[in-house]
Amino acid sequence: MDNRQGSSKGTLIMGVLLVALGIVFLVASLLGNNVVGTWWPLFIIVVGLLFFAPLFLREASWGAFAIPGSVLTMTGVVLLFQNLFDAWQTWAYAWALIAPFSVGVGLYIFGAHAAQPGLKDAGGVVMKVGLVLFLLFGFFFEGLVGVSGNLSLRIVWPILLILLGAWIILRPMFRRASGGPQAAPAGQQPGGSPASDRPWPPATPSLALPAEPIIPPGVPQAPQSPPQPAPAEPAQVVEPAQVAEVVEPPVEGEAAVEPLPGASPREG
């Protein structure tokens, strides 16, 4: 279902861009060569934007199209600026916006689309390098050499200030996007897996004494009866074993012992 929705969105965007491209060609053919000679970099921009259409298909591998799309789009923007203001000498430092800056933009979009933090971090680093190179070379060629003449005071320096301010604003966002691990949500361990999926050791019985009930102040307490001793178990009576008496016969030569008077004779 998601693939079908993504495919329909990608087809819709592709169709809209093609219609826009056809309208641009039609207007250019009707108005003459002057429009084409001035706004021809728009065709490069439109082609670059077409490379972003596959990103709506929600496939991780399609995010790689963001790299050539970013390069072509930035190339068209630079060419449009140079063609409008006849500032072709700005190629001395404008190349840094195409590579490595736009390459870093494509890598960052690719990483965000494919949910790969490594690509996002790499894209952020490449963007920083490209922007620093652009500012350094721009300051050298415009501030010290003055390759653009009066144009640098009217247009180039304001654009450099805009880019520098935009970088200062967007820098915290890139830091948060490539920052450390966030706090784990409730019910989830810091490792990333829910607590219910992890085996826990068996619960051990508590050996602590039961807590006494808490009685608020002012409530009369019931009299407690003294503890009753546990009933003793009845002692077992062991009857002595009946020992059979054995009457030995008198030995020869000895007189028989007569019983004492009053004593009853024992049965043999």
pLDDT at 211 over 60: no
Per-residue pLDDT, averaged over 79-102, amounts to 91
Closest CA to 47 of 76, 25, 7, 23: 76
pLDDT at 144 over 70: yes
- The set of residues, in sequence order, having a beta carbon less than 8 Å from that of 146 and lying 6+ positions away, is 152
Map out the domains of the chain as residue ranges.
2-177
Contacts 24+ apart (CB under 8 A), 2-8: 2/58, 3/57, 3/58, 6/56, 6/57, 6/58, 6/59, 7/57
Write down the pLDDT at residue 100: 92
- Give the predicted TM-score (pTM) of the model: 0.55
Which tens digit of pLDDT belongs to each residue from 30-58?
Answer: 666 566 778 889 889 988 988 888 888 77
Among 129-138, 211-220, 255-264, name the one with the lowest average pLDDT.
255-264
Average pLDDT of every residue of the chain:
73
Among 77-86, 147-156, 222-231, name the one with the lowest average pLDDT.
222-231
pLDDT at 249 over 60: no
